[in-house]
Each structure stands twice: as structure tokens, then as C-alpha cells.
Structure 1
């Protein structure tokens, strides 16, 4: 993929469609969506009654997501499991895609804020659907009407904190790893006199495990858990 760089830190332009610039964020997100689609198609086209191999792994993941949804949102809201699972997989893969040399889409504030706004819209929609417009609006007057402005501000702050939390954690890892690779490349030339960045091989692996795998999957879990808490809380 021929990437055209832009000034400053952030996703670069991957290609143009006419006058429209398509960034790394969009391109990598499309790639992740395609991978998920192909994987889902392949593992479900020939299902067997007795699960083995990949089917067994997939069924375990689906069962875990179903149980997680029921535990946090209740049996009556078990239908949210497909959305919860899709959100967790999309964010999880987006966070660890840096292991393959690609920029995580979640290191772009546009992506994280879109996901958090989607959670916000679903929260308001299902809150109104569950309680009715009057009943849901009445909740902003509790415990006393005087707190109405604070309750509204608190509700509007949820998507902002949700989006910035995910973005901040992921982009921090990207920045740290970028600076580390740059420093190791310079040290290789200064200490060993080599133009090949030899020190970049192996040394960053430990930090990749933390920032890309541990922190990435943890942030995916946190975002999904908060989504379930916000939606189920609005419906109660």
C-alpha cells in the first residue's frame, strides 16, 4: 500500500478517491471489517452438531459473550449480545493491529468518538423505549429537580469520557512505540555504526505485548463493559 505522508503525528493519507483523501484509519478499518466478515463466513458455512477445532473455539467465544451480556444487562436484555460481541471484536482487533505494523484505527479520535456516540444514541433510544419519553425525562429530575443541569451534563459527559479514554490509552502506546523505534534506530547508528536498525529487532517485543496485547484487549473490555452499563442503566 502506497502511503502518502502528511505533516504532524496522526494517520497518513493512504490514497485518494477523486479529491477525497482516504486515511490509514479508514483503510485499516475496512481491512478489519473484511477479515471479520470472511472469518465469520468461513466458520459458519459448514457447522456441525458436534463442535471441533475452530468451530469449538468460536462457539466458546459466542457463549462467553452471551453470558457476559446476561450477567451485566440481565436475561431480558440478552438480545444485545450480537452488538456487544461485534463491538468487543472490532475494538479488540483494532487495538492489537499494531502488532502487524498497521496503525490502530482506535488511535484516531474520530473512530473512538464515533463508537462512543453510537453508545450514547443507543442509551438514549432504549432508555426512552423502555420508560417512555416522560418517564425517561423524569429521571433527570431525580433525586431533586435542582440537579437537572448536573444530570444533563453528566449524561453528555459519558460519550466524551468513553471516547477519550479509549483514544488516550491507544494513542499513548502508539506514540511511545514510535519514539522507541526511532531511538533504537539512532542508537544502532551511534553505538554500532550500522545503518541497519539492528536494535529494533527483539527489544520492543516486551512493550508490544503490554501496549498492543494487554492494554489493547483491556481497553476493548472496558469500553464494552461501560457500554453495557450505560444502556442497561438507562433502561432500568
Structure 2
């Protein structure tokens, strides 16, 4: 697995599944492998955190219950009491994107730095929005919403609806990729600075100096973007159902 900034800006092919029946060779990118890692970590954490649960919460169970309470309240505040059922999806989306965004702190390329990932997430939101909008209002009632406030605005309303997943996916991708590129350029500049000042091949300035920038681009911006994506998802879905 290559470290972020070691070469290029795009996801790399980590390994290839060879000679598969009917499909042949399938290259597996770093995005896919890191996504598998995140899913595995979330799965293991969910199993461990919910085993041997007791009536009086303490330790890990207390932490998990507080997290669930926060997600439940967030869902109720943004989607209403009647849409409380969306809390598990909201929590999963929030934690998956959040971990994907900050995993660069461990030297891996964030899966959300790949447009394929962010567009899949945004398309999922789009499909859920349309499906539950129709389910809640009926096909005719949902279709009438595109004629508001005036019927001649139908084309613009359709374009606006189709633009939502595009803007949602590109916003997350753009912010995370920008951080990857800036950190890559920073590491390159610090490596050149060490060579020019001391004539050493050892990148001394790459130790410690980038930490502050990692805190902003990986931690702060990453968690912020996961929150924004999740909030917009709740707004789109609840808006379509009202």
C-alpha cells in the first residue's frame, strides 16, 4: 500500500484478481481496498460494542449509547419525529464518510478522494430521495411538485433535481482531493528544502511540520465534510417526503 503523496494524485492498483470465470482479470484499486478496511473496522466495532449489553451502561456500552443518542437526536431535529427510522442510515453514512475522510492520518488515500466513491454515495441519496418521495406522496403528488411555483418552470425544476447528486458528490470529492493535493505538494516541498539546505536525502522537515496541516485537512475538514454530506442527505430526503 503506497503512502499518500508518494506518487501521483490518483488511486493506485494494489493487486489484480486474475483468471476469474467469465470476467478475466479484475484490477483492485487502493480505493476499494481501503473501503473494505473501513467496512471491516465498522463491522467488528459494531459486533464488539453490542455484545454482552447490560441494563446499566458503562465503559464502551456507555460510549456507544451516547453516540446512538446523538445520531437519533440529529435525525429527529432535521427530518422530524415521524422519520426517526432514518437514524441507522444517517449514523452509518456519517461514520463511514467521517472515517473515510480522516484515514489519511494513517497514511492511506481517503476513498472519498475518488470520484467513484463520492458519486456512488450521492447517487444513493438521489435514489432514496426519489423513491421515498414517490412512496410518501404518490407518483402524481410527487410529480406535481415539479410544477411549482409555476408550470413553465418544470424543465428548471428537473434540472435542479438532477443537479443535486452531482453537486453533492463533487463537493465532497473536491474538498478531500484538494487536501490530498496540498499535502502531497507540501511533502514534496519539504523534501526539496531538506536537500537544498543540508544536501541530505533524508527528508528531515517532513517529520513534525506537516502535522498541523494534517489536523486541518484530514481531521477538521474531513469531519466537517462528512457532517455536511449527511446533513444535505437528510434535507433532500425529508424535503421530498414532506
Describe how 1:57-72 pairs up with structure 2 within 5 A: 57-72=63-78
Describe how 1:15-164 pairs up with structure 2 within 5 A: 15-18=15-18, 19-164=25-170
Q: CA deviation at 1:190?
A: 1.0
Unaligned runs of 5+ in 1: none
Q: CA deviation at 1:9?
A: 2.8
Question: Contact 1:113/1:164 (CA < 8 Å) preserved in 2?
Answer: yes
Question: Contact 1:2/1:15 (CA < 8 Å) preserved in 2?
Answer: no
Q: Distance in 2 between matches of 1:87 and 1:11?
A: 22
Q: TM-score, normalised by structure 1?
A: 0.97
Superposed CA RMSD in Å reads: 1.2
Question: Contact 2:133/2:240 (CA < 8 Å) preserved in 1?
Answer: yes
Q: Secondary structure of 1:21's partner?
A: strand
**2:9 pairs with 1:9:** yes
Question: Contact 2:9/2:180 (CA < 8 Å) preserved in 1?
Answer: no
Deviations 1:121-151 (A, max 9, x none): 0000000000000000011001110000000
Q: Give the structure 2 partner of residue 191 of structure 1.
A: 197
Q: CA deviation at 1:8?
A: 5.1
**2:217 pairs with 1:211:** yes
Question: Contact 2:2/2:108 (CA < 8 Å) preserved in 1?
Answer: no
Q: Secondary structure of 1:30's partner?
A: helix
Q: Secondary structure of 1:159's partner?
A: helix
| Cα separation, partners in 2 of 1:196 and 1:8, compared to 1, 3 Å | closer
Deviations 1:49-81 (A, max 9, x none): 111121111111110000000000000000000
Moved more, 204-213 or 46-55: 46-55
Q: CA deviation at 1:193?
A: 1.8
Q: Distance in 2 between matches of 1:108 and 1:170?
A: 9
Deviations 1:179-199 (A, max 9, x none): 101111111111122211110
Q: Distance in 2 between matches of 1:40 and 1:176?
A: 34
Moved more, 45-54 or 168-177: 45-54
Question: Contact 2:38/2:96 (CA < 8 Å) preserved in 1?
Answer: yes
Count of aligned positions? 233
Q: Secondary structure of 1:46's partner?
A: coil
List, as ranges, runs of 4+ consecutive aligned residues in structure 1 with deviation greater than 2 Å. none
